[in-house]
Amino acid sequence: MSGEGVVRAASVPAPEPAAASVPVPALRRAHVDLGAIAGNVAHVASLVSPAAVMMVVKANGYGHGAEQAARAGLAAGATWLGVADVDEALALRAAGIEAPILAWLHGSDPSFEQAVSQDVTLGISTARQLSRAADAGTPARPARVHLKVDTGLGRNGLQRADWETVFRAAREAEVAGLMVVEGLFSHLSNADESEDRAQLAAFGEAEALARSLGLEPSIRHLASTAGALRLPQTRLDLVRLGIGSYGLSPFDDADSAALGLRPAMRVESRLISVKRVTAGTGVSYGYTYHAPRDSWLGLVPLGYADGIPRHVSNRGSVWVGGSVHPIVGRVAMDQFVVDLGSLQASVGDRVVLFGDRMDGEPSADDWAEAAATINYEIVTRLGRRVERVYG
């Protein structure tokens, strides 16, 4: 069965496609504005100073391209890079990036030799990980670690009952020359200000215990974008700037513009079919939409295989021909339909799925609301068929 949306066309012909001499643009493209990324990093760096900035480029730079985003952020003042796992860190090293990199998500029995040899700093959340890091270190090249404590988020990080045991073991590894405990960190829940302040207090307890046992972490970090912007006490020595690097807001009550940020990604496509239908025509699988009037329908060649949430069916919108038009019918694997109303668009016309509200386009926030999710997911889920273009 074809993945195309089902559309019953009337006899009115569609507009002619563009002349063959005009080059046809890519069907699926994400334009990434590296200047916007640099501007966002510089803006937040100025707000949080004297705390330093770690730019988080995990998950392929939140879908924007890890290497390209990292270079833009470092040029704008970030002094660290953050990734989820060692493989992501090693990919940056292979690309020639020499800045400090922290990787903090590991398997149950990790091997850290390659990470240590490539000067990747390890986030340590368990006694087993600490032991493996010590195994990988030597007096000539000790493992550099940041100990992560769970202060209330309930994800990875040392549980309070294990703090003393692991801190003692870390100090022993330091004395043996196998490890340098460079940092201590945690992650806020961002549930509300009182919860974040409670976590800050717990972090202070962990730091005091670590120092009483002989550890001297010089880099303390707790805040991601949300904490860095709204709770200055959590900035400490370093903030981890994730979603804010890419110009998106972590808050429900403030958009990018309100925070002085500029979205760095604009996802575009082209209409590959335009047809006139009569009132009552059903659209796409299951006929969840019927045209309420005679209308022009446009077909866009992206679908859930490209990371377009199926949940935006009959809820999301795109920009075509200077105005916003609704996505109608169910999003399919490779395509979705837009009700253009009276707009007589042409095959090849530009479509903006999401970009910057300041330009009159739907935003990642708008798409997140339509899909009942968050803007983080909208940008990170884009698939391999969506070409990234940098400027």
Nearest CA-CA partner of 169 in 204, 124, 138, 202 = 124
Q: Specify whether 148 is catalytic.
A: no
Q: Tell me how far apart the alpha carbons of residues 375 and 381 are, in angstroms, rounded to a whole number.
A: 10
Three-state DSSP state, 388: strand
Residue 341 reports pLDDT greater than 80? yes
Confidence band of 154 (pLDDT split at 50, 70, 90): very high
Q: Tell me how far apart the alpha carbons of residues 245 and 263 are, in angstroms, rounded to a whole number.
A: 9
* Tens of pLDDT, residues 18-46: 444 444 457 999 999 999 999 999 999 99
- DSSP classification of residue 323: E
Confidence band of 381 (pLDDT split at 50, 70, 90): very high
Q: Specify whether 58 is catalytic.
A: yes
- Out of 275, 285, 289, 390, which one is annotated catalytic? 285
Cβ 50 vs Cβ 232: under 8 Å: no
Close Cβ partners of 298 (under 8 Å, ≥ 6 residues apart)? 271, 273, 274, 320, 325, 337, 338, 340, 345, 349, 351
The DSSP string of 19-68 is PTTSPPPPSEEEEE-HHHHHHHHHHHHHHHTTSEEEEE-HHHHHTT-HHH
φ and ψ of 103, to 5 deg: -120, 130
Confidence at residue 16, expressed as pLDDT on a 0 to 100 scale: 43
Cβ 77 vs Cβ 43: under 8 Å: no
Percent of the chain with pLDDT over 90: 93
Cis peptide before 217 (omega within 30 of 0): no
Q: Tell me how far apart the alpha carbons of residues 282 and 5 are, in angstroms, rounded to a whole number.
A: 10
Secondary element (H or E) of residue 116: helix 113-117
Confidence at residue 25, expressed as pLDDT on a 0 to 100 scale: 57
Residue 234 reports pLDDT greater than 60? yes
Confidence band of 11 (pLDDT split at 50, 70, 90): very low
- Summarize the confidence of residues 358-366 as an average pLDDT: 97
Nearest CA-CA partner of 391 in 32, 50, 86, 125 = 32
- Summarize the confidence of residues 235-247 as an average pLDDT: 98
Confidence at residue 20, expressed as pLDDT on a 0 to 100 scale: 41
Q: Tell me how far apart the alpha carbons of residues 88 and 103 are, in angstroms, rounded to a whole number.
A: 8
Q: Tell me how far apart the alpha carbons of residues 39 and 55 are, in angstroms, rounded to a whole number.
A: 13
Nearest CA-CA partner of 329 in 295, 297, 288 = 288
Mean pLDDT for the chain overall: 94
- Out of 58, 148, 289, 376, which one is annotated catalytic? 58
Q: Tell me how far apart the alpha carbons of residues 88 and 263 are, in angstroms, rounded to a whole number.
A: 24
Q: How far is CA 304 from CA 14, 310, 385, in A?
A: 27, 6, 11
Beta-bridge partners for 320:
323, 351
Determine how many CB atoms are found less than 10 A away from the CB of residue 309.
19
Close Cβ partners of 170 (under 8 Å, ≥ 6 residues apart)? 124, 130, 145, 147, 179, 181, 215
Confidence band of 191 (pLDDT split at 50, 70, 90): confident
In this structure, what token pair is assigned to residue 35?
Answer: 């200047």
Confidence at residue 245, expressed as pLDDT on a 0 to 100 scale: 98
Q: Tell me how far apart the alpha carbons of residues 383 and 366 are, in angstroms, rounded to a whole number.
A: 19
> Sign of the C-alpha dihedral, residues 354, 355, 358, 360?
negative
Determine how many CB atoms are found less than 10 A away from the CB of residue 59.
17
> Sign of the C-alpha dihedral, residues 128, 133, 135, 136?
positive
